[in-house]
A = this chain, B = another copy of it.
Amino acid sequence: LLVLIPGHASSQEHPSLTITKEGVVNIQRELGELPLFDVSLEQVKVQVDAEISSGIDVPIPKDYSGGYTHERHKLNYLTMQKAGLLYQVLDDEKYAIYVRDMLMQYADMYPTLSLHPKERSYARGKLFWQCLNDANWLVYTSQAYDCIYEWLSKKQRQDLEINLFRPFADFLSTGNPKFFNRIHNHSTWGNAAVGMIGLVMDDDELVQKALYGLPDDNIEPNAKDNDGGFIKTENGKSGFLANLDEPFSPDGYYTEGPYYQRYAMYPFLIFAQSLHNARPELGIFEFKDSVLLKSVNTLLQLTDKNGDFFALNDAQKGMSYQTSSLVTAVDLSYYYGGKDTSLLHIAEQQGKVILSDAGMEVAKGVNQNTSRPFKRKSMQFSDGANGKQGGLSVLRSKDESLTLVFKYTAQGLSHGHYDKLSYSLYEQGNEVVQDYGMVRYVNIEQKGGGNYLKENNTWAKQTIAHNTLVKDETSHFQGTYEIGSKYHSNLYFFDASNSKVQIISAVESNAYTDTQMHRTMAMIEEETYGKPFVFDILRVNSQKPAKYDLPLHYLGQPIQFGFDYQATATLEPLGTANGYQHIFLEGKGQFRKKSNATFSWMHQNHFYTLTTIVSQNEQFLLGRLGANDPQYNLRRDPVIIHRKEKTKDALFVSIMEPHGSYSPVTEMAKNAKSNIEHIEIIYNNKDYIGVQIKGKNWLDKIFILANTENDKSKKHRLTINGKLYEWVGPYTYQNKK
């Protein structure tokens, strides 16, 4: 464990947060030699010079995000941080003057400000409508102050610290314990802000608060924030180190998911780097088995083939490792994490580096041509502070052409969705079977001020919005955060050691009362089929008969339905609550006997087929998003739902198969039809499930899953239809006898 040296009192030199005196000397020596660094420097210079020539504006705070004063203060802190670095690197006083003059205007205004006039936040800021943005401001501005600290007179520093920085830090910490003293990305920003300005001012009280939180915060145990998340966690810890300890699993998975991780990474890393430079004795990068650097690799692994983050929990699609906080993350991870040359490959794609010692080393590595391809792999990531709260698995085919993301995590704090054992599927960089993401148009003011829209709760978080089981048209944990937060799914087994059959299996026992869900998904490669297919067994055991819905949120245009259905002439909502109220029913197929139902579609010029085992009276419902959405907050995406009614124990078995492509230029369709001919359950009891898979080129296989024995070394013997099958481990995939 870390021990902070009490009463630390160095006469610290500046700059010492993200750039050091020594670093500046090194950088200046290399200027003009490293194209990636020079380009990055030039970009920053162009931006800052443009701002300098358009003049300083520090308006009275007034607007929500998207509005002028919000965007202006945001631009101000971003520009000050850059100007500070330019002053150091280029040694040109005009940048220091710009930062100083702007800071002085803030120091004049700040003491006059009461709370921001907009009242929506659980923790209103002063410059912005929420403390979170005030903390953003201070994280960036601390760096600017650090860069011009020695250039300022003592008098100027006193003025800034007394009128601006110290009260600013106090407001964010003791002034706003609900914001500052919790385990949440908001607090991470708050902690970093207070800690970083504390480091610049050499104010150890602030640094202590930043690292360990407020000793006494008087927050009610059940208080919640705007997103409906709890303020307090059970163990009651807070501060930066607790925030680092708690939401990151030992595998570096951040419990809110990659979209929020990339947002949180910046304060984590930038404050860590500052601590590394200014308080090296803390050994921050080694904390919790180097979890911070590990988490950067995890975040990069949680991207599709063109670098977009998987849309887990609340997440806006299209966010990618091109985002600026990932430039910082990649550069620092390279510099402090052993110079992994595959990171250089990503830095090249980012096309820029940060202006610091770390960025310079990256530029040097790129210049020396040492980059090697960044490889995405099949991986399993545990969730929870100690890695014991379920997890996330990613299965990838060769060349990353097919990617399956399988989620059996904990709730994921207030940004979590009710999506136990759900999955999404990507081909190349494209979603094929989607997680909807969030319902929010970030920074598009016309759409509810750019904030979360109510359909985020009524649709995006609901279970029916995900590719997993819904029981009786209700969401997991009754769609209740308090309940969901108590539980997590459990890994049954994960095995990616055999590239021909990569497999993940997990169990969820709490999403519905007296109901166990056990889902196993395998990515199976049959060489003659060109592309691998995904085999999916979802086994449900319940105490009482119920209605089960298993949606498939495919993207694209239906091509062929291998079953009869009635299209609906008039579209009505499929239900009234829990997300069902947003789905229009476009058609319904009812099955008369046990058979296979198939459904083919085309997306981005690729063909896909779902083959599912259906029984008498089961239904396929064809749905379209958009009901009860008068504001068009939702996309009009399609869904197909497999429904089993009045069923106690249910078994959903299907194959999801990418199998071809189309070119609108050559107008040729390749492998437009499925390779799978028939799947059938040939064994099913409490111990084993056996499924026969027949397909083109005389494929005749059997897949057997052991339902209750996940020991990988355990030997099994099972006779099915008079034939003996023997294997080792929780499953076998072999030729049918």
Contacts and interface: CB of A to CB of B under 8 A. Distances in A.
Nearest to A565: B630
Contact of A664 (B318, B605, B666): B318
A632 B664 contact: no
A198 B548 CA distance: 68
A2 interface: no
A239 interface: no
Interface string A285-327: 0000000000000000000000000000000111110111000
Contacts of A587: 630
A585 to B, nearest CB: 10
Contacts of A666: 323-324
Contacts of A630: 567, 587
Contacts of A324: 666
Contact of A446 (B572, B626, B627, B672): B672
Contacts of A665: 318-320, 322-323
B586 A626 contact: yes
A262 B665 CA distance: 11
B569 A570 contact: no
Interface in A610-666: 624, 626-632, 635-636, 638, 662, 664-666
A264 to B, nearest CB: 15
A90 interface: no
Contact of A672 (B66, B571, B572, B631): B66
Nearest to A628: B569
A627 to B, nearest CB: 8
B600 A571 contact: no
B600 A669 contact: no
Given A570-B571, A571-B570, A626-B586, A443 B667 contact: yes
A673 B323 contact: no
Contacts of A317: 664
Contacts of A572: 569-571
Interface string A711-737: 000000000000000000000000000
A223 interface: no
A600 to B, nearest CB: 7
B632 A443 contact: no
Interface in A555-602: 557-560, 567, 569-573, 584, 586-587, 600, 602
A446 B673 contact: yes
A257 to B, nearest CB: 16
Contact of A632 (B319, B441, B558, B605): B558
A152 interface: no
B667 A447 contact: no
Given A570-B570, A635-B557, A445 B672 contact: yes
Nearest to A441: B559
Nearest to A444: B669
Nearest to A566: B630
A445 B629 CA distance: 36
B557 A632 contact: yes
Give the dominant DSSP class at A's interface.
loop
Given A557-B632, A557-B635, A316 B667 contact: yes
A9 interface: no
B559 A444 contact: yes
Contacts of A162: none
A228 B567 CA distance: 29
A1 interface: no
Interface in A173-208: none
A50 interface: no
A46 interface: no
Contacts of A443: 667-669
Contact of A560 (B319, B320, B446, B567): B446
Contacts of A113: none
Interface in A401-434: none
B664 A66 contact: no
Nearest to A562: B446
A274 to B, nearest CB: 24
Nearest to A570: B572
A31 interface: no
Nearest to A586: B626
A442 interface: yes
Nearest to A667: B442
A352 to B, nearest CB: 13
A572 to B, nearest CB: 5
A3 B566 CA distance: 63
Nearest to A71: B668
B624 A664 contact: no
Nearest to A446: B560
A638 B322 CA distance: 32
B672 A444 contact: yes
Contacts of A624: 626, 636
A330 to B, nearest CB: 14
A669 B442 CA distance: 9
A559 B445 CA distance: 10
A497 to B, nearest CB: 35
Contacts of A570: 570-572
B584 A571 contact: yes
Interface string A47-84: 00000000000000000001000000000000000000
Contacts of A635: 557
A557 B633 CA distance: 8
Interface string A671-684: 01100000000000
A345 to B, nearest CB: 18
A419 to B, nearest CB: 21
8 contacts: A66-B669, A318-B665, A319-B665, A322-B665, A442-B667, A450-B669, A569-B573, A569-B628
Interface of A: 66, 316-320, 322-324, 441-447, 450, 557-560, 567, 569-573, 584, 586-587, 600, 602, 605, 624, 626-632, 635-636, 638, 662, 664-669, 672-673
Q: Which 10 pairs show the lowest CB-CB distances between chains A and B?
A: A318-B664, A567-B630, A571-B571, A558-B632, A446-B560, A442-B667, A322-B665, A444-B669, A323-B665, A570-B572
Given A318-B605, A322-B665, A567-B630, 10 more contacts: A66-B672, A316-B667, A441-B559, A442-B667, A444-B602, A446-B559, A450-B669, A558-B632, A586-B626, A624-B626
